Amino acid sequence: MSSSQAPDVGTNVTDFPWDPGFIASRQNLVWSSTFNSVMKMVFISLIVCVSLFGNVVVLLVFQRKPQLLHVANRFVLNLLLADLLQTILVMPFAIAATVPGVWPLDARLCQALVVLMHLFAFAGVNTIIVVSVDRYLAIIHPLSYPTRMTPHLGTNLIICTWVLSFLQSTPPLYGWGAIDFDRHHNVCSVVWSSSLSYSAVVSTFSFWLPVLIMLGVIGWCSERPGGKMLLCTPYRHNPTLSPAHRTPKDRAVHSGRPSPSRPAPLMAPTQPGSTLFELGTDASTTIARQLV
């Protein structure tokens, strides 16, 4: 079969691994690059093992302690799943591609692999954007954060990240862009030069826009007192302190007014070197709730 009779997965390739005689024509290259292939295989395999171990450990933590799955950590879990799927479904073929002249997939599966690779990558990038917006709301609007970032909204945002990722990764299947086999690197990949408009859209939404959003959030939140620390600290909402869940006693304490069943706590005079625990149980509880 000549190169013109090969499965149509692009326009810029002359040799494909599923063509007869492809492996035989590259026997010399196989022997000359054995060492490099082994090193690449070991390196990629090490990355796969580390990724699997780390992601599975975190997944087990969430499975054993479901109370950790508040809204912010659900975004982290979504990022973990995208990375884990990339490791399981895509990386094994990257290991196979390190062997010169060997490619285990045909034309259709070659396209599917590229789409999956970009799908999981875009899902991770879009999730990072959502995490940035979540941190912005938690730091800039801490009082209204529990009512804005609800579990229902968090679930919808996660669904939107995958829908948007699907729309970003599948255009080459419809003719906007192209997928070819790169015989120099022995991998299937998107031919970015085939469609400058698709390349511009992908680079904008997968790199430039996320970078600008993250830099904006970091710069804006860093100006707030304690903002740098809160960027890395998930917001832990106590529903008993939100206006919708406060009891009359909590409302009285939060507003500073004594309730009929609980007199106003006696505040100890503030002295140099005094700590929160030196002010007494009632006073420390009041101050802690006011700080929240």
pLDDT tens for the chain, 292 residues long, are 444 334 445 444 445 555 555 555 555 555 556 777 788 889 999 999 999 999 999 999 999 988 888 899 999 999 999 999 999 999 988 888 777 766 767 778 888 899 999 999 999 999 999 999 998 888 888 899 999 999 999 999 999 999 999 999 999 988 898 888 877 777 788 888 888 999 999 999 888 999 998 888 888 877 766 555 555 555 454 444 444 444 454 454 445 454 444 444 444 444 443 333 333 434 344 434 444 4
Q: Is 36 exposed, middle or buried (0-12, 13-18, 19+ CB in 10 A)?
A: exposed
Backbone angles phi, psi at 190, to 5 degrees: -75, 135
Give which of 235, 3, 10 is closest to 107, Cα–Cα: 10
Calpha distance 12→192 (Å, rounded) = 11
> 44 to each of 38, 91, 162, 231, how far by Cα in Å?
10, 8, 26, 32
Calpha distance 169→114 (Å, rounded) = 8
Count how many residues are written for the chain.
Answer: 292
Question: If you classify domain 3-230 with CATH, what class do you get?
Answer: mainly alpha
Locus of tokens 């804006």: 220
Q: Which residues contact 119 (CB under 8 A, 6 or more apart)?
A: 165, 166, 169, 170
182 has which bridge partners?
187
Calpha distance 213→243 (Å, rounded) = 31
Domain borders along the chain are: 3-230, 239-291
From the centroid of its chain, how far is CA 285? 37
> 100 to each of 32, 114, 169, how far by Cα in Å?
10, 19, 27
End-to-end CA distance of the chain: 72
